[in-house]
Structure formats: C-alpha cells, structure tokens
Amino acid sequence: MTSQVVGIDIGGTGIKGAIVDVKSGVLLSDRVKLPTPEGGEPEAIVATVIELLGKLGGLDKKASIGVCFPAAIVDGKTLSAANVSKKWIGLEAEKLFENALSRDIHFVNDADAAGIAEQRYGAAKDEQGLVIMTTLGTGIGTALLHRGHLIPNAELGHLEIDGVDWESKASFAAKERESLSFSDWAERLQRYYERLEAYFYPKLFIVGGGVSKHSEKFLPLLKLTTPIVPAELRNNAGILGAAALAVGD
C-alpha cells in the first residue's frame, strides 16, 4: 500500500477528489471540485480528472487512486451512463483511466462507493444485516450491503411503479423540477421505500445525496417498518468509498 490514497467522485455536474486516510475515513487534503465537462464525454472527463489531480497539492505520483462513476460497471467496463454521454456505454473505462494516469486504479459505481463509505466509516458501521444505501440526487442511486459485503450494481432507483421508472418521480431532481413541497415529495418516497421493504426486508435504509442535509424535513414523514437515517458522510461518501476500495481490505 502506498502512503497516499486518492478518491475521485465523478458526477453529472461535478467531479470531486481528495487525498484520504482510509484507516480513519478522514480527508487529508482540501476537497477539489471541478465542473463536469458539458456533454460528459469520455476524453473530456478523463482530462478533467487529470486536471483535478494536478490541483491536489503534494500528491505522490505513486498514490493509489479509486474512481467512482455513475454507471453499472462490470470488469472495468461501463454498461450504462447516467447523466453523462452515451459514449460510455460498453466502454473499457477502467483501462481508459489507467492508460491516461499511467497506473492501476479501482473503478466502481458511485452509489456502491458511497455505500462502502457509510459501511466502513458512517451510518452503517455497526450494522451486520442487510443495508440499502440510497442517494437522492439527479437520479436515485442504490447500494446493497450485507455483513460488510457489497452486492454491486444494484440499480434499484429504476424500479417501476405504476409503469413508471420511479426515479423520474422520486429523485431530488424530480422534486426540484416539479416544485414539490417536502410533504408531496415524501409521498412519492413513501411508495418507493415501501416497495424496497417488500422486496428485501432490510435492517436499515441510509439516505444520501446533497438533500440528506435537510433530512429532518422529509424523513420523519415516512412511515416504514425499517429504520431510515441520513448518511453521515454527506458529499464526501463517494470520495471516501472509492479511496477505500482502491486499497482493498
């Protein structure tokens, strides 16, 4: 293991990164954020990641790097593309980054990275049963964790309810787009989490995404059997999880 580990979190609107202490889950540098290039095409995003790494002062050239990305990822290949260019679909994305950065990296789905971070450092740290991490943002990202093990690429934000892909109705972007009150939005979230309960019977729901800092405005409105809590790591979860996965256990 190298002395430094970097986590990079690529999103549809911003790309964030920092140097991380993976033992404690603490950022060792300021978090750097750059806008995601318009169109979200592969070469442009890779160039922005290289620029971001250049802004992390004192970075060891041999630092381990973990990158999380809004797509289903199997064997380093992106099989979907959420809020980025469709050119990512079917792309050997991990190899693209490794060639550009001249080193091995760990490449993972963004919600999976956030879930790993909450399991290791945050709200799910002491939970041994099934945990479902949900991130409410432009879409709905999900991660399944059981006894500390990740079940990757759980795209449960796309559950159909009444024939509709429910993230189009219950994401935070949908709330903003339709100018929904928190109570009206909570009605949609209620239907979503009820469906997850019926399918999985989890021990804990964790709610992440930027809106989680306002969790007191909507989580108390949900009537569920499963405890539901806000994420503890907020917008650093993707960075921390990607870094943790870069060095394994």
Instruction: Identify whether the C-beta of residue 28 lies closer than 8 Å to the C-beta of residue 21.
Output: yes
Percent of the chain with pLDDT over 90: 88
**C-alpha span between 230 and 212 (Å, rounded):** 6
pLDDT at 9: 96
Q: In this structure, what token pair is assigned to residue 224? A: 């569920």
CB neighbour list of residue 248: distance below 8 Å, 6 or more residues apart: none
- From the list 103, 126, 135, the residue with the least C-alpha distance to 231 is 135
Task: Let me know: does 114 contact 186? Beta carbons within 8 Å.
Answer: no
Q: What is the mean pLDDT of residues 187-215?
A: 96
249 pLDDT above the threshold of 60: no
pLDDT of 190 strictly over 90 = yes
Do 5-112+236-246 and 125-231 have matching folds? yes
* 248, two tokens: 């394994």
125-231 sits in which CATH class? alpha beta
Q: What is the pLDDT of residue 59?
A: 84
What whole-number distance in Å separates Cα of residue 69 and Cα of residue 51?
17
Question: Is the predicted pLDDT of residue 193 greater than 70, yes or no?
Answer: yes
Q: Which CATH number fits domain 5-112+236-246: 3.40.50.11540, 3.30.420.40, 3.10.180.10, 3.10.129.10?
A: 3.30.420.40
Structure pTM? 0.91
For 129-150, what is the mean pLDDT? 93
Half-sphere exposure of 136 (CA within 13 A, CB side): 28
Which of 22-36, 55-69, 173-187 has the weakest average pLDDT?
55-69
Phi, psi of 149 (to 5 degrees): -100, 135
pLDDT digits (tens, 9 = 90+) for 71-105: 999 999 999 988 899 999 999 999 999 999 999 99
Tell me the domain boundaries of the chain.
5-112+236-246, 125-231
